[in-house]
Amino acid sequence: MPVTDDLVALFERAGLDTVFGFPCEQMDPYYASIADAELRHVLARSEASAAVMADGYARASGRVGVVDGVGGPGAANLGVGLVEAAGASSPVLALTGDNPVATRGDGVIQDADNRAILDPYVKTGYDAVTPDRAVADATAALREAVGGVPGPVHLNVPEDVLRAETNDDSEERAVSARFPAERPRPALDDVDRTVDRLRNAERPVVVAGEGVHRAGAQDALVAFVEATNTPVVTSMNGKGAVAETEPYALGVVGRWGFCQVANDAVEDADLVLALGCRLGELTTVGWSLLDDDAAVVHVDRDPAWLGRNYDADVAMAADLRAAIEALTDALDTDDFAGRASRVESLAADRANWYEHHRDELESERTPIRPARVVEDIGVALPENGVLVSATSYSGFFSGAFFEVPRAGLGYVQARGSDGINYALPQALGVQVARPDDPVVALTGDGGVGYHVADLETAVREDLPVTVVVADNAMLGSSKASQLGNYAVDQSTDFAAVDYAQVARGFGCDAERIEDPTRLAGALAEAIDSDRPTLLDVVVDPYAAPPVLV
Ligand SMILES: Cc1ncc(C[n+]2csc(CCOP(=O)(O)OP(=O)(O)O)c2C)c(N)n1
């Protein structure tokens, strides 16, 4: 059996319906095997885009995103996606071709040390130098991607190995691309100690991070906080861990795109329950938010994060869903019934905070205020929708003002790396995984430039995303940072570009929007449409974002 038939069969048996990539001669046998199989191959416009799509697909499907590319330049491009996947614990399997084992390194075209290129971003890199190893290593790579803390892996397969036959007994290898692969439980002692602490705390708060999403622990978290009347803030990566429309949800905490009530609740807390959250610099505003006397309970799948930023009074290296369910099972709801009034009072504070920004959210000024763009997206996007936001201003405004209406993966922002470029390809990957749910990508004009050719991918692959370009014809936050820190403005302006025209050239529907009163209607039409649509929204570069400098 050809090695590549085995690889494709393995991916299908693992539960994958789609893979992503960009062809090369080295990988011809793999493409020939895919052509004969059910597996869908999504052709992106670069290996970088394909890798980001695989990341989006992984997050939204709960399965590994597989991406292929040529060695050398393709491997380097794949790194663009893997650096984000690595930072966000997103399981992506990068498959690179390579020159034949006998001649690689001897000045053959596209020659490179592919392992060395991608090693910094992967849990494990495999170099399959025999046909049987190729299938065995692919199996190991899939298991590695979903085992423990999910994350990217790399499988390098030289061309001669890809063209070979194998006698491998791979059909007997049990493998699943779903994550998490296992759910280690917390120690019962730690669970009891946490419940004790929670019972005795006066101002507890949950800080929920992306670990809640990766573990599919959103419903468990909702049950826990409803049983205990504990308010919840999220890191940016944890946004949507609970429905942000619920009274106990206080929004995003931290330096960028935060709700003031969320920051205040953490500053004021006497007990912080950090669930699947690294308590990193952005979330804690440079580790300044938590009170020195606050007790910390930290639950994370990755023991390396326990105690790294804060000493935890109780530290549990466990699956998030298993841990949160264990907490709920161990407590007595009656002990927490009296706390509903605190939740109501915090909900009123959040409503006031929102009202305080109402003028911006509903502003009819031109150029259009970015907060208005986010507000109108929130109104137009149905409950089953996903907003994939770029970082920078798009992320500052959407983090604060977009409310994820139900617990689950309703919002993605590339905080694994903070790259400004990911929103468009990530949204395409999410749309592949969720063909029936509307997906909106919100991005700056600087960010959209990186992968703009993938508007063609959206058309060809029938992915009806809505792309909203918050177009200020500049690298807005770079300009603000240079002016603020050095009183200079160097290399931050672009010439005006009509992105609607560009999008039409790639085959999308498109509209340029300068009138704020047109925004809501255009968004509703785009989201309702079964075609990819780009809205080039001319926004005010000088609207102040919710950022703590
Ligand atoms: C890949 C990458 N390159 C550079 C940066 C540094 N950076 C942060 S914000 C920003 C400007 C982003 O401009 P744009 O996408 O147009 O969004 P805007 O700030 O104007 O809303 C840059 C260059 C980054 N975060 N990621």
Fold of 188-345: Rossmann fold (3.40.50)
Confidence at residue 16, expressed as pLDDT on a 0 to 100 scale: 98
Confidence at residue 525, expressed as pLDDT on a 0 to 100 scale: 98
Task: Find the mean pLDDT for residues 76-83.
Answer: 98
Task: Find the mean pLDDT for residues 344-372.
Answer: 98
Q: How far apart are CA 241 and CA 10, in angstroms?
A: 32
| 3-class secondary structure, 145 | helix
Ligand 1 mutation target, pool 398, 471, 478, most atoms within 8 A of CB: 478
pLDDT value at 59 more than 70:
yes
- Which residue has tokens 């980001």? 52
**229 C-alpha vs ligand 1 centroid, how far in Å?**
39
- Which residue has tokens 């605190």? 342
pLDDT value at 415 more than 80:
yes
* pLDDT, tens digit, 9 for 90 and up, residues 335-350: 999 999 999 999 999 9
Fold equal for 3-163 and 363-538: yes
Q: Report the percent of the chain where pLDDT is more than 90.
A: 97
Burial 100-122 (b: 16+ CB within 10 A, else e): eeeebeeeeebebbbbebbeebb
Q: How far apart are CA 532 and CA 431, in angstroms?
A: 11
**515 C-alpha vs ligand 1 centroid, how far in Å?**
25
Per-residue tokens: 67: 């991406």
pLDDT value at 167 more than 90:
no
Binding-site residues, ligand 1, Cβ < 6 A = 391-394, 418-421, 444-447, 470, 472, 474-478
CB atoms within 10 A of CB 81: 36
Confidence at residue 118, expressed as pLDDT on a 0 to 100 scale: 98
Ligand 1 mutation target, pool 368, 392, 485, most atoms within 8 A of CB: 392
Q: For residue 157, what pLDDT band results from cuts at 50, 70 and 90?
A: very high
* pLDDT, tens digit, 9 for 90 and up, residues 279-320: 999 999 999 999 999 999 999 999 999 999 999 999 999 999
- Which residue, by CA, sits nearest to atom 18 of ligand 1? 476
- Which residue has tokens 């300044």? 288
pLDDT value at 44 more than 90:
yes
The DSSP annotation for 205-236 comes to: EEEE-HHHHHTT-HHHHHHHHHHHT--EEE-T
* pLDDT, tens digit, 9 for 90 and up, residues 90-115: 999 999 999 999 999 898 999 999 99
CB 99 within 8 A of CB 74: no
Q: What is the mean pLDDT of the chain?
A: 97
Confidence at residue 168, expressed as pLDDT on a 0 to 100 scale: 64
Give the nearest ligand 1 atom to 541 CA. Answer: 20
* pLDDT, tens digit, 9 for 90 and up, residues 235-284: 999 999 999 999 999 999 999 999 999 999 999 999 999 999 999 999 99
**What residues does each domain of the chain span?**
3-163, 188-345, 363-538
**444 C-alpha vs ligand 1 centroid, how far in Å?**
8
Confidence at residue 170, expressed as pLDDT on a 0 to 100 scale: 57
CB atoms within 10 A of CB 547: 17
Task: Find the mean pLDDT for residues 434-438.
Answer: 98
Task: Find the mean pLDDT for residues 514-524.
Answer: 98
**475 C-alpha vs ligand 1 centroid, how far in Å?**
6
**310 C-alpha vs ligand 1 centroid, how far in Å?**
30
Give the nearest ligand 1 atom to 470 CA. Answer: 21
Give the nearest ligand 1 atom to 420 CA. Answer: 26
Backbone angles phi, psi at 300, to 5 degrees: -150, 150
Helix (H) or strand (E) holding 509: strand 509-513
Domain 363-538 class?
Answer: alpha beta
pLDDT value at 185 more than 90:
yes
Per-residue tokens: 161: 């190995």
Confidence at residue 180, expressed as pLDDT on a 0 to 100 scale: 96
- From 3.40.50.970, 3.20.20.60, 1.10.10.10, 1.20.58.1610, which CATH number describes the 3-163 domain? 3.40.50.970
**519 C-alpha vs ligand 1 centroid, how far in Å?**
24
Q: For residue 549, what pLDDT band results from cuts at 50, 70 and 90?
A: confident
**466 C-alpha vs ligand 1 centroid, how far in Å?**
21
Ligand 1 mutation target, pool 84, 389, 420, 536, most atoms within 8 A of CB: 420
Sequence-distant (6+) residues with CB within 8 A of 431 are 437, 439, 458, 463, 464, 465
Give the nearest ligand 1 atom to 370 CA. Answer: 21
* pLDDT, tens digit, 9 for 90 and up, residues 466-481: 999 999 999 999 999 9
Ligand 1 mutation target, pool 475, 481, 482, most atoms within 8 A of CB: 475
